[in-house]
Amino acid sequence: MYVALWPGNVYPLGSCWDGKGTNFTLFSENATGVELCLFDRDDEETRIQLTEVSNFVWHGYIPGIGPGQRYGYRVHGPYAPQEGHRFNPNKLLIDPYTKAIAGEVGNGPELYGYSWESEEADLSFSDLDSAPLMPKSVVVDQSFDWEDDKLLRTPWNETIIYETHVKGFTKLHPDIPEELRGTYAGMAHPAAIEHLQRLGISAVELMPVHHFLSVPGHLADKGLRNYWGYDSINYFAPHSEYSSSGTLGEQVREFKEMVKALHRAGIEVILDVVYNHTGEGNHMGPTLSMRGIDNANYYRLVDGDARYYMDFTGCGNSLNVRHAQVLKMIMDSLRYWVTEMHVDGFRFDLASALARELYEVDRLSAFFDIIHQDPTIADVKLIAEPWDIGTGGYQVGNFPVLWSEWNGKYRDTARDFWRGVDSTLGEFAYRLTGSPDLYYQENGRRPNASINFITAHDGFTLNDLVSYNEKHNEANGEESRDGESHNRSWNCGAEGETDDPEVLQLRERQRRNFLVTLMLSQGIPMILGGDEMGRTQHGNNNGYCQDSEISWFNWDLVQGNTDLLDFTRELIYFRRQHPVFRRRKWFQGQAIHGSGVSDIMWFNPDGSEMDQEQWEIGYAKSMGVFLNGNMIPSPGKQGQRISDDSFLIFFNAHYETLEFNLPQGMQDNQWVLVIDTKEPRFIQEERIYTGDRTVPVTARSLVLLRQMV
């Protein structure tokens, strides 16, 4: 096959079709040679030596090559693992900048740069060709008619996040055509969007959609798959398995159609991204892309022993964000997903690993500086998972301005409170008010810095949180050694499924307690997809490898959980209607014109105000909270004053019913019952409390009263 090769351009990186041909570029500082490998429909390979090198970028232009062309690279250079170099031209490599990938990574010794049979392990050299087992990069046509679509830019304080999985959400949905289930098109289907719209959420946070390693070797041996997707092998290409229309660039168009449909429904798209490590694993892992392109630059290697990788993630390697080209790749990827794919924001997995410049987490690292000054990225939603497994990696509250954080302390405090474990009033109060102890800093952070959640993909579902004391991960094939052992869960009296009506009633009440607490807290609520309809993983708290009915949404559950689903819908609508629960600024505890009534106040069940000693050292299982709707400091969108109803919330995590008195000074008002979590739905009939009439709050339940005007 004759192929004309022109010098081409050094920019942009990746493959770029101009309507007449395609420009190919690849960064490698330490390579001695680069071969571009083109594959025809019969998988016949044509190798073209790239001879032009500018600023360590190897480049060439081939006329006549267009969208749908599959390709890869073979990179020559020293194979010296002890010096950090793992070049092996027998291994076909994925272009780190490709916008689409066709095929799955196979399983076999051909994928590894070393010989499985050698006693020297990874210090040996493999002559096996990996091309038959490797997916191929694809040249794509980026044109797309977005019409008038643009980023929604939903204000943070109006945001309600729904964490879900493209495949899991749609795989079993009975109203989605079977050929679309588990795909981007399925996520864009009217039946899927209708559920999200009726629920009332404002954003979906999609678990990883960057193309990832579906069947790592350690799972293939067990017949399991990488379901969550936290093993990226590329940061530009949407995962091709989620495409119903094809893998030769069609997945790019289908993803865009999904975003466009969700935007049309008023729903933002936030991507869970994994820029801290790749699916190539540790020194014994496969050679799929960056390891074979320029291992010493792309990965953090151990100082003094470059054979091994620094691992701040528990996944075998960490990207070398200290290197300018790696930072550039991450930033190029982020900008691509915003400008070309129209996503509204990102949740950064194990974000502390990105901040590491030496061995410590540095909040002023180059990565955050670059994010801050970038006009495209600084203007979208940025969410950090603020921890990694390295020393000092737990950094909740320490990320800079512009960033919101998954608030693990909120999760832990809420779980402890409702299972009756002693937690101080101060701790619970901080979480309910947006965690000012973590985020109220001079750098300008607001309550939206706190992403509040009770459950997430990593751990129990809400149903399982109130149904299991212990994890049950037998299906993962590791004898339940995997997954978190300290879940702060409580089975309410029976482990797992039960017919005991008292246990079931208590579980239903606890689910409502958690949901109401979440929606009435300052900060940004995040719901785990399926919690609204009682989704269960049967006690499995680590479903990362369960691409099965354990993880997929069972839509039949809706029929048995209509009360829970309707309650959740009402609750989300209620939050959206009342700005007092989603303030943009912190509570100050300041009185109105000397009246003695503050923007927030805390009370004992007898109606007396809690004193300083109770606040600092008191353990709280029951309390009252007053939220003043007349003291919302932030103006509306047009500068108008915002006012709302005022509310009393009575919390009772005690094992007995308690009678709450209306606080002194508020007994002359009339208070109407809105929510009582012992009831399956919002209160419909008018129940009014005033004067010295007490408010009964059932054991382990919550009551919300609205002041009548």
Question: Within a 13 Å sphere around the CA of 369, how many CA atoms are in the beta-carbon half?
Answer: 10
Question: What's the one-letter identity of residue 41?
Answer: R
- 349 catalytic, yes or no? yes
CA dihedral 302, 304, 305, 311 (to 10 degrees): -10
Cβ-contact 150, 261 below 8 angstroms: no
CB atoms within 10 A of CB 20: 10
Distance of alpha carbon 247 from alpha carbon 233, whole angstroms: 16
The three-class DSSP label of residue 120 is coil
Cβ partners under 8 Å of residue 578, min gap 6 = 629, 644, 645, 647
Which token pair is 401? 């301005």
Distance of alpha carbon 347 from alpha carbon 405, whole angstroms: 9
Cβ-contact 491, 466 below 8 angstroms: yes
CB atoms within 10 A of CB 521: 23
Cβ-contact 557, 534 below 8 angstroms: yes
Q: CA 304 → CA 84, 92, 292, 571, distances in Å?
A: 10, 29, 21, 56
Which token pair is 594? 């000397």
∠ at Cα 384 (382, 388), nearest 5°?
155
Question: Within a 13 Å sphere around the CA of 658, how many CA atoms are in the beta-carbon half?
Answer: 22
Host H or E run for residue 370 = helix 366-373
Which token pair is 416? 């402890």
Distance of alpha carbon 345 from alpha carbon 154, whole angstroms: 11
Name the active-site residue from 95, 231, 385, 599: 385
Where helices occur in 592-665 by DSSP H, the ranges are: 612-617
The three-class DSSP label of residue 169 is helix
Smallest Cα–Cα separation from 427: which of 588, 641, 623?
A: 623
Cβ-contact 476, 224 below 8 angstroms: yes
Cβ-contact 71, 15 below 8 angstroms: yes
What is the separation of C-alpha 307 from the centre of its chain, rounded to a whole number of angstroms? 32
Residues paired with 61 in a beta bridge? 6, 23
> What is the maximum span of the chain, computed from C-alpha positions, in angstroms?
93
- 385 catalytic, yes or no? yes
Distance of alpha carbon 447 from alpha carbon 634, whole angstroms: 12
Cβ-contact 232, 208 below 8 angstroms: yes
Rounded to 5 degrees, φ, ψ at 371 are -55, -45
What's the burial of 637, exposed, middle or buried (CB within 10 Å: 0-12/13-18/19+)? exposed
Name the active-site residue from 110, 122, 344, 349: 349
What's the burial of 19, exposed, middle or buried (CB within 10 Å: 0-12/13-18/19+)? exposed
Question: What's the one-letter identity of residue 678?
Answer: K
Question: What's the one-letter identity of residue 599?
Answer: D
Question: What's the one-letter identity of residue 90?
Answer: N
Q: Which residues are catalytic?
A: 349, 385
